[in-house]
Structure 1
Amino acid sequence: MERIPTHGIEVFLTIVREGSMRAAAAALGVGASAVSLQLKALEDRLGIELFFRTTRSVELTEAGKILFEAAAPAHRDLTYAFKKTREMARSTTGTLRLSLSRGAYMAALAPVLKAFLAENPGIKLEISWDEELVDINRQGFHGGIRMGDALSPDMIAVRITPPIKSVFFAAPSYLQAFGAPEHPRDLLDHQCIRHRHPTSGKLREWRVTEDGQDISIDPPARLIFDSAAGVIQAAREGHGIGWSMKATMADHLKTGELATLLEPFARDLPPFYLYFPKQNKRVECLRLLVNFMKTQLKERQRSNAEIAAER
């Protein structure tokens, strides 16, 4: 494909508008020799002269008139496009598209969403709940929220939560029928509901902490779902014991639909991160969300430290 010699077009158009190379140089803030050199380079690339030059003025040649008639409106459109693009990068209004799992929404975004929207009335969030990892570049998302162990290394990632509390859980009806496990090894004799990662196809590991050691357990699965929501729903229906982050079932624990199990062995999960491609770091709406989430994390950490000190 033939490359179009666009370098020097702005100089050419400025000469036409200002009426001389000296006036064009002043308008562009460069020396007259620089304007002359750029114009000559453009004419050399085109293979034809664009101006009749005299000591006092310049006049368009026929070729120059053809170029001006076509290039002037195109340059105006391009200038407008650049202006609007820059405004978008600096704008505090607009739509911010995010990809995240339901768990990420419940644990990381939902607790601060009302405050963020109130602080940034010009920003609209378009949220896609995706259990499966998606290509946020290809699908047009500005960013996403995932746990730190599920991030692509080519993304900018900002931690936005403390480590996430996990919990084993079951419905009272199940516990009444089968009893409650007292130790993680007891899970091997229970009906367990497991979660399979849609992206990797692997069953999510069940992990516990005992005597300061992080231990992985692999109980047999009576039911397997490709979403944490499915695990929670099946547990509510009394089909067995599940394991997930506590934030996703807080309401069910409050109502008594689900009960927590093996709490002394509960293990923290990795924190959530707000991540985005490098080219989006200058999007103002995204920068506002990043800074807001970082501030919320600091406030939460300070509050937790104060509570711990009082104890």
Structure 2
Amino acid sequence: MRPDPFSGLSAFLAVAEAGGFTAAAARLDVSPAAVSQAVRALEERLGTPLFVRTTRRVGLTEAGAALLARVNPAAAEIIAAVEEAAATDEPSGLLRLTVPRMAVPLVVEPVIPALRLAHPRIAIEIAVEDATVDLPGRGFDAGIRIGEYIARDMVAVRLTRDIAWSVVASPAYLAAHGRPEAPQELTAHEAIRYRFPRSGALYRWEFERDGRTFSVDPPGSLIVNDGALLASCARAGLGLAYVADIAVESELHDGHLVGVLEPFLPRTPGLFLYFPQRAQAQPKLRAFIDVAKQVLQPMR
């Protein structure tokens, strides 16, 4: 009898995503021994180990990583197909979203309670990370990112107004160090720098003058890779920070932060929900979009 080609794959995917057998077992609601046995049977059937097991961590072998790259997108497609086939008038299923930290107070916190109230059969998993994410490869239904960073082959739905980029500092910092009037004066100031989580590159501050764009690499001895921490450090008076105005709107309004260099700062598209074309028919995703539009439109 031909073996079931799907046998052990759900356990394999759970371990790969959770990073361990115990965590995978909790997700699948089975015992760790059952997960281990299923993975071991799959490895024996394939004739190659899929995981490197140590006392501290569980990692993928080269063969395991190759299998994950092929199987994970297919698994997402199968799950979506099953959910669509079983769809009723009430959207259901697990909606997995990847969002940047900036989107948590602007989108996630106002939308998710309304979504849960309107559609209690939709389960929600949210991963907060600023790095660019391969949606199908990581098993996400959709993501939220700044518009200019979304690939053109994705469907994009606007969630917020456009972003006006801002250089901000606390009133105490400006009182002690003065207010820069032009980007070239940043060399005399302390900048709080942002490092991209995935590439590791430091962000160069972008400006405009007479229709021309240019960037500045300001000096700074404090580097972070989290936007919320960036604003927090600026509020603490540790230097100037380059941030999206929608991320610090309340701090600018109440005077905890002050904007400088406004005539030189660009505007870019705001936050968008994005997803592959084939995913837009999913009732759970359509429900999120409808609720987000209802909740965020007045705020925009």
CA distance in 2, matches of 1:210, 1:152: 28
Partner of 1:275: 274
CA distance in 1, matches of 2:186, 2:278: 47
CA distance in 2, matches of 1:185, 1:85: 56
- Whether the aligned pair in 2 keeps the contact of 1:89 and 1:283 (CA below 8 Å) is no
CA distance in 2, matches of 1:176, 1:83: 61
- Whether the aligned pair in 1 keeps the contact of 2:94 and 2:123 (CA below 8 Å) is yes
User: How far off its partner does 1:145 sit?
Assistant: 0.4
The amino acid of 1:183's aligned partner reads A
Q: Relative to 1, partners in 2 of residues 1:106 and 1:245: Cα closer, same or farther, differing over 3 Å?
A: farther
CA distance in 2, matches of 1:212, 1:113: 40
Task: Give the 5 Å matches for 1:77-226.
Answer: 86-88=85-87, 91-110=90-109, 112-113=111-112, 115-226=114-225
CA distance in 2, matches of 1:278, 1:90: 22
SS at match of 1:168: strand
User: How far off its partner does 1:84 sit?
Assistant: 6.5
Partner of 1:264: 263
CA distance in 2, matches of 1:147, 1:278: 18
The amino acid of 2:99's aligned partner reads L
Q: Relative to 1, partners in 2 of residues 1:83 and 1:117: Cα closer, same or farther, differing over 3 Å?
A: closer
- Whether the aligned pair in 2 keeps the contact of 1:147 and 1:272 (CA below 8 Å) is yes
- Structure 2 unaligned spans of 5+: 5-80
User: How far off its partner does 1:101 sit?
Assistant: 0.4
CA distance in 1, matches of 2:174, 2:243: 18
CA distance in 2, matches of 1:89, 1:122: 11
Q: Relative to 1, partners in 2 of residues 1:90 and 1:139: Cα closer, same or farther, differing over 3 Å?
A: farther
The amino acid of 2:138's aligned partner reads Q
Q: Relative to 1, partners in 2 of residues 1:241 and 1:83: Cα closer, same or farther, differing over 3 Å?
A: closer
Task: Give the 5 Å matches for 1:29-68.
Answer: none
CA distance in 2, matches of 1:298, 1:105: 17
- Whether the aligned pair in 2 keeps the contact of 1:89 and 1:282 (CA below 8 Å) is no
Q: Any idea what the Cα deviations from partners look like across 1:14-62, whole Å, max 9, x if unmatched?
A: xxxxxxxxxxxxxxxxxxxxxxxxxxxxxxxxxxxxxxxxxxxxxxxxx
- Whether the aligned pair in 1 keeps the contact of 2:190 and 2:239 (CA below 8 Å) is yes
SS at match of 1:174: helix
Q: Relative to 1, partners in 2 of residues 1:297 and 1:252: Cα closer, same or farther, differing over 3 Å?
A: closer
- Whether the aligned pair in 2 keeps the contact of 1:191 and 1:240 (CA below 8 Å) is yes
CA distance in 1, matches of 2:141, 2:89: 15
- Whether the aligned pair in 1 keeps the contact of 2:84 and 2:282 (CA below 8 Å) is no
- Whether the aligned pair in 1 keeps the contact of 2:169 and 2:239 (CA below 8 Å) is yes
Q: Relative to 1, partners in 2 of residues 1:85 and 1:111: Cα closer, same or farther, differing over 3 Å?
A: closer
- Whether the aligned pair in 1 keeps the contact of 2:90 and 2:121 (CA below 8 Å) is no
Q: Relative to 1, partners in 2 of residues 1:131 and 1:187: Cα closer, same or farther, differing over 3 Å?
A: same
User: How far off its partner does 1:250 sit?
Assistant: 2.6
User: How far off its partner does 1:195 sit?
Assistant: 0.8
The amino acid of 2:247's aligned partner reads T
Q: Any idea what the Cα deviations from partners look like across 1:209-267, whole Å, max 9, x if unmatched?
A: 33343332222232211111221122122111001111222333344332222223332
User: How far off its partner does 1:202 sit?
Assistant: 1.9
Partner of 2:44: none
Give the fraction of aligned pairs with identical amino acids, expressed as a percent.
34
Number of residue pairs matched?
Answer: 224
Task: Give the 5 Å matches for 1:277-296.
Answer: 277-293=276-292
CA-based RMSD: 3.2
4+ long deviations beyond 6 Å: 1-4, 295-301
Using the size of structure 1 for normalisation, the TM-score is: 0.61
SS at match of 1:239: coil
CA distance in 2, matches of 1:211, 1:153: 29
CA distance in 1, matches of 2:157, 2:84: 25
